[in-house]
């Protein structure tokens, strides 16, 4: 792992606090997941949200009837770590609903559940739609990969250096090439819910046509009315 610092310059900045110990490979459980919802109407009004915070591992506050956010487990207890628990922090959180604008207008709300897979699946959707010209459903159904070569966001922050998981619809020649580049490839099934569950809606600004897409990897729906 690189030192914490300015990612745009790809180098560490001068630090006034001790550099945290380098993470070591560690296993950990997969947590219960999130959900995603987007709405887009003919006038270009849009809603994009990634509701989260489950109740399985979060206590109900007696007498008040609500839970405490479980997002605290996405911070670190190491006092020398940049994301240690402390006032005034802006910790890394996994929910990341997306919204694409084009020529000053809404083009596509999109997102997915999937913990640390969320931003990775969302980038692959963008590439499929914007660079490869796929329609939204085709882009969602395209085979997917996810990297685990970084400490996980949630405690106990599992870390698997070099690990790349890939759906087996990706050609073996491509996976072999990635392996030669240093990735440690693990094959996912042909379709797996671990690759996320993308949903998106697209507004064609010239024709006024709305198109929706939903991921067959989990229970998901695209509904129009």
Residue-averaged pLDDT of the chain: 86
CB 3 within 8 A of CB 75: no
Q: What's the CA angle centered on 221, arms 223 and 201, to 5 degrees?
A: 60
Q: Quickly state the pLDDT bin for 61 (edges 50, 70, 90).
A: confident
Q: How far is CA 130 from the centre of its chain?
A: 18
Quick count: other Cβ atoms within 10 Å of Cβ 54?
Answer: 13
**What pLDDT does 16 receive?**
54
Taking the complete model, does pTM exceed 0.75, yes or no?
yes
Q: Domain residues of the chain, as ranges? A: 37-53+64-214
- Inform me whether the pLDDT recorded for 221 exceeds 70: yes
What is the helix, strand, coil percentage profile of the chain, to 5? 20, 25, 60
Return the percentage of the chain with pLDDT > 70, whole number. 84
Q: Is 210 helix (H, G, I), strand (E, B) or coil?
A: strand
Nearest residue to 192 (alpha-carbon basis) of 117, 95, 138: 117
* CATH architecture of the domain with range 37-53+64-214: 4-Layer Sandwich (3.60)
């Amino acid at each position: 792992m690189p030192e914490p610092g300015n990612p745009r310059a790809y180098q560490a900045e001068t630090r006034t606090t001790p550099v945290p110990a380098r993470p070591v490979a560690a296993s950990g459980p997969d947590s219960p997941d999130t959900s995603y919802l987007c709405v887009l109407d003919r006038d270009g009004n849009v809603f994009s949200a990634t509701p989260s915070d489950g109740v399985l591992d979060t206590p109900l506050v007696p007498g008040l009837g609500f839970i405490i956010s479980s997002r605290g487990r996405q911070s670190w207890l190491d006092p020398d770590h940049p994301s240690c628990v402390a006032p005034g922090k802006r910790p890394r959180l996994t929910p990341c609903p997306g919204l694409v604008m084009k020529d000053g207008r809404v083009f596509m709300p999109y997102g997915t559940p999937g913990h640390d897979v969320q931003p990775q699946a969302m980038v692959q959707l963008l590439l499929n739609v914007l660079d490869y010209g796929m329609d939204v459903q085709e882009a969602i159904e395209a085979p997917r990969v996810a990297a685990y070569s970084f400490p996980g966001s949630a405690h106990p922050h599992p870390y698997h250096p070099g690990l790349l998981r890939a759906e087996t619809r990706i050609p073996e020649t491509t996976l072999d090439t990635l392996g030669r580049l240093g990735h440690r490839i693990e094959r996912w099934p042909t379709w797996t819910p671990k690759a996320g569950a993308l949903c998106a809606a697209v507004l064609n600004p010239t024709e006024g046509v709305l198109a929706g897409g939903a991921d067959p990897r989990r229970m998901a729906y695209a509904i129009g009315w």
